[in-house]
Amino acid sequence: MFQKDLLKGKNILVTGGATGIGYAIADAASRLGANIFLMSRNEANLQKAVASLRVNGVNAGYRVANIRDSSQVKQAIDSLYSEAGDLNVLINNAAGNFLNRTENISENGFRAITETVLNGTLNCTTHLGKKWISEGRSGTVLSIVATYAWTGSAFVVPSAVAKAGVLAMTRSLAVEWGPKGIRMNAIAPGPFLTEGMASRLMPTEEMVDAVRNKNPMKRLGELDEIANLAVFLISDGSGFINGEVVTIDGGEWLMGAGQFNSLMNLGDEFWNFIDSMRGKKSQ
Ligand code: COA
């Protein structure tokens, strides 16, 4: 789908990039020539991911850091920056989430999610952004949000408020930092069944089936589909896209939004009845 050397020479930092969507993006970018740097809390996962990338001859490295902790973020980014000579792209993928009724979530539970998703993303973006600006370098930031950043969603309230903040950050800095050569965009994924998603948000086969059946495409997303979108958005070919959020959900959120969309579940009998009503309304 892309030219072989599309991302050649780009140094890409992916937070939470050792597993799931983050790893899929890192892997796809590496196959197009990018050097990959990963940051997460779990060193065993990082080692495994970097080893897999290196099998294909990719230049890859990692640092262990919790993005909630700004001093860890600064240290990790500074040392990766020195190792790489520059970082050109930041992919804000690291997140935390769980399903629960909001009245059951403690203050600490809220903080575990909002400090990871919102503060963590701000920590990474502002630290790297300040470096780019002070050195007069350009850069690209791509953040993974969620469609409930604008629709809201029951049962994931800490994540919803934090993702809404990340989207606001994306649109705000797109304007403020655009003149400095820094592009800010976001992807809002629908259902992609990673291990994290399966264990935290879709723990039963019934839930997976329900999500699949609700989707207009009648399926879940494939990881290479979101990786392709990310590659496009961080490539120079999309250089005029700034401040945008691209949804990749098979139409899931629109399905939930349209006033008459639930009619999708009705069959021929209903539509035959509607047809039989034609022209009768004024009689
Ligand atoms: N429901 C309600 N509260 C929960 C919860 C759940 N399912 N899971 C954790 N919490 C609360 C804990 O009870 C605790 O609050 P307390 O001290 O008042 O009891 C708080 O969250 C922190 O929990 P802890 O176990 O210390 O976890 P943590 O701070 O290491 O991180 C997550 C919690 C959710 C952020 C963690 O699982 C994580 O980092 N996940 C990353 C991967 C991920 O979620 N990916 C998203 C895939 S869609």
- The pLDDT assigned to 199 comes to 87
- Residue 104 CA: which ligand 1 atom is closest? 2
Q: How many CB atoms lie within 10 A of CB 261?
A: 14
Identity (one letter) of the amino acid at 212?
R
Determine the structural domain holding residue 198 and report its residue range.
11-250
Edge-to-edge strand ranges of the sheet holding 89-92: 60-64, 35-40, 11-15, 89-92, 139-144, 182-189, 245-248
Question: What is the CB < 6 Å shell around ligand 1?
Answer: 95-98, 100, 104-106, 108-109, 112-113, 116, 196-197, 200-201
Query: Does 148 participate in catalysis according to the annotation?
Result: yes
Q: DSSP label at 41? A: S
Catalytic residue among 23, 62, 81, 148: 148
Asked whether residue 263 is domain-assigned, the answer is no
Distance of CA 112 from the midpoint of ligand 1 (Å):
6
At 141, give phi and psi (nearest 5°): -120, 130
Tokens of 148: 């409930």
Asked whether residue 63 is domain-assigned, the answer is yes
Distance of CA 163 from the midpoint of ligand 1 (Å):
16
- By alpha-carbon position, which residue is closest to atom 39 of ligand 1? 96
Identity (one letter) of the amino acid at 251?
G
Which of 23, 41, 45, 97 should be mutated for ligand 1, with most atoms under 8 A from CB? 97
* Residues 6 or more apart in contact with residue 57 via CB below 8 angstroms: none
- The pLDDT assigned to 113 comes to 98
**What sign has the CA pseudo-torsion 198, 202, 207, 212?**
negative
Asked whether residue 278 is domain-assigned, the answer is no
Distance of CA 60 from the midpoint of ligand 1 (Å):
29
Asked whether residue 256 is domain-assigned, the answer is no
Asked whether residue 243 is domain-assigned, the answer is yes
Asked whether residue 42 is domain-assigned, the answer is yes
Q: DSSP label at 261? A: G
- By alpha-carbon position, which residue is closest to atom 17 of ligand 1? 108
Report the relative pairing of strands 139-144 and 182-189 from DSSP bridges.
parallel
Per residue of the chain (283 residues), give pLDDT as tens: 899 999 999 999 999 999 999 999 999 999 999 999 999 999 999 999 999 999 989 999 999 999 999 999 999 999 999 999 999 999 999 999 999 999 999 999 999 999 999 999 999 999 999 999 999 999 999 999 999 999 999 999 999 999 999 999 999 999 999 999 999 999 999 999 898 888 888 889 999 999 999 999 999 999 999 999 999 999 999 999 999 999 999 999 999 999 899 898 899 999 999 999 997 765 5
Residue 268, Cβ density class (10 Å: 0-12 exposed, 13-18 middle, ≥19 buried): exposed
- Residue 110 CA: which ligand 1 atom is closest? 21
- The pLDDT assigned to 198 comes to 86
- The pLDDT assigned to 74 comes to 98
Asked whether residue 132 is domain-assigned, the answer is yes
Dist CA 131 CA 82 (whole Å): 12
What CATH code is carried by the domain that includes residue 91?
Answer: 3.40.50.720
- The pLDDT assigned to 197 comes to 85
**Count of domains for the chain:** 1
Asked whether residue 142 is domain-assigned, the answer is yes
Q: How many CA atoms lie less than 13 Å away from 93 in the CB half-sphere? A: 28
Which of 206, 204, 209, 105 lies closest to 160, judged by CA? 105
- By alpha-carbon position, which residue is closest to atom 1 of ligand 1? 100
- The pLDDT assigned to 191 comes to 95
Annotate 204-256 with three-state secondary structure: CHHHHHHHHHHCCCCCCECHHHHHHHHHHHHCHHHCCCCCCEEEECCCHHHHH
Distance of CA 30 from the midpoint of ligand 1 (Å):
31
Name the CA dihedral angle for 208, 209, 211, 217, rounded to a multiple of 10 degrees.
120
Distance of CA 97 from the midpoint of ligand 1 (Å):
7
